[in-house]
Amino acid sequence: MGRKLGTVLALGLVTSLVFALAPGEAERSAPPAPAVSLGAGAGTLVVDLVDGAGEADLQTVEALLGADLDWTHPLSVDEALAEGWVADVPGALAMLSGHPLVEVAEPEIVMEAYGNYPNDPMYDRQWHLRAMGAPEAWSATSRGQGVVVAVVDTGVSKVEDMDGTEILKGASFVPGTRSAADDQGHGTHVAGTIAQTTNNGKGVAGVAPDATILPVKVLSKFGFGSASWIAAGIDYAADEGADVINLSLGGGYSSVIHNAIKKARKKGVIVVAAAGNSGNRGVGYPGALEETIGVSATGPDGKLAPYSSYGKGVDIAAPGGDKRKPGGGVLQNTVDGKGGDHYVEYQGTSMATPHVAGAAAVLLGQGMAADAVERTLLDTARGDSWNERYGHGHLDLAAATKGAVKRGGTQFALGAVFALLIAQLAATRRRFQLGSAGVAGWLAGGLFFLTALPIPDLAVLGFFTKPFLEWPSLLALPEWVHFPLWLSAVLPFAVAFTLGAFKGTRPLAFGLVCGVGAHLLYGAATSTLDPWWLPASLGTLWLILNATACGVLALGLAGAQKLDEGTA
């Protein structure tokens, strides 16, 4: 009995793994001064209560602060160390000063392993990367490996601090300009925020330094471009396999641009666009479109920048800079218009947008699906509810990567439960070969956790990190990811009646069926799978019913194996 249960548990766990604004907006300036303080306000407060303090004492402090605190760790309860989010850190510290239940209280301070974070000499001036939580994300996850980000802009040139960044050839859609090189500076600055070469001992850092940049020149050296050029550039980027399109440009509504964005989204491409620099209510296009992630801009104090447009269409806020404050612009390396390059601060919603595009690349590099990436970025943004200035809140890549890990954990847990139930209900006298069933399960569900491991050249493992049902997105057929019959038990049925017909290959069929079923169940539970033509509630029901059908198939395969073993 012990050996049998152990095998069941092992099978369950293994199978569960299966699871413009034209660029004229961005003025150039002298080299940046040292960064200013990000300011005080809401944040995490760490409270060290007196030794021996218990739950009642913690509740007393919570009542005083009007905030929820949790013990930092079960092993630190005896030391009475707690933490929690408060709306006013300085005010909370003042209230706790001299309190008899409190030994020490301070704002949360993030430490680092020396040498782990960038050694780029001007990184300390990039307040904007720290404001969005990029350093914490770098230390815990991938940095955009295998993700292609199209910069649809004035072009991109390989400046000195992009020596280690992969930049594709790209294309120009500006008449009379053959090269996708940057002749203005805006596009290269944007690309630097996304994927500046990082930890190379020179210059500055980027949000997703391991991402690949696809230059798409649609704006002239004067910073302007027609809607037809931009639409053609968007079509090209989607056809070339871009995973993310950055649109740090804008103006009035264009139906041809809108149509191009719709087609890109249909192919599974994330489109991020600037809100505009009017400083007034009214978001420019394409940032105002439902199909784009519209980005407003904040300064180093976390407040909406004075130039940023706001209103309906803003989905998230990100650092865009405010050069009224010393060192308050967004610092990157770009061309200088004289055949060389320099490090310069720009400001604008054009600068805010690539922070979000880079964050999307980091999450995609973890193996997340495009729809899940957008949902995670908005769900983890710092903010209580949507408002017209900050959308769903301030971009928080650190929280987003943690949210991605939680989604992966949910997938793992659901997969484990699914596989364990199938294995236990089958009650076969001798279990399937663990190896072959497990391998099939891995292929079906995807080894999502591999993206968090220090494995070189992770891009080649794309097929292994994504669930089988998401493989079409890697084969330039992203439309299939939403096709209802693909997100169903049709394929498992075909496998069950082919591979499942023979004793030797039946374990493979069992693993694949369990993996697909668990992935469908996970998609229903987390709303990360979106079958076309079905309203949200019917789509969820569709996924659940087909996951159940996979469970029935798995039981049938287990029963067939039992019969074969009984007659052997």
Which strands, in side-by-side order, build the sheet including 148-153? 171-172, 212-217, 148-153, 244-247, 270-274, 293-298, 316-319
**Tally of CB atoms within 10 A around 250:** 28
Is-contact 365 146, C-beta < 8 A? yes
**Residue 244: enclosing H or E segment and its boundaries?**
strand 244-247
The H-assigned helical ranges of 166-211 are: 186-195
Q: Which of 172, 183, 186, 371 is catalytic?
A: 186
Entry field: residues in the chain: 568
Active site residue 519: no
Collect all residues with Cβ–Cβ distance below 8 Å to 160 and sequence separation of at least 6. Answer: 202, 203, 333, 341
Could you confirm whether 350 is annotated as catalytic? yes
Q: Which of 16, 120, 128, 153 is catalytic?
A: 153
| Whole-number CA gyration radius for the chain | 26
* Neighbouring residues of 194: CB distance < 8 A, sequence distance ≥ 6: 149, 151, 206, 207, 208, 211, 213, 246, 354, 357, 358, 361
239 counts as catalytic: no
Q: Looking at 309, 350, 473, 488, which residue is catalytic?
A: 350
- Close Cβ partners of 385 (under 8 Å, ≥ 6 residues apart): none
Give helix 370-379 / helix 349-365 axis angle, nearest 10°. Answer: 120
Q: Contact, 192 vs 151, CB < 8 A? A: no
Residue given tokens 């949902």 in the structure block = 375
DSSP 8-class letter at 480: G
Alpha helix positions (H), 299-458: 349-365, 370-379, 397-426, 434-445
**Do 149 and 214 form a contact (C-beta atoms < 8 A)?**
yes
Which residues are marked as active site?
Answer: 153, 186, 350
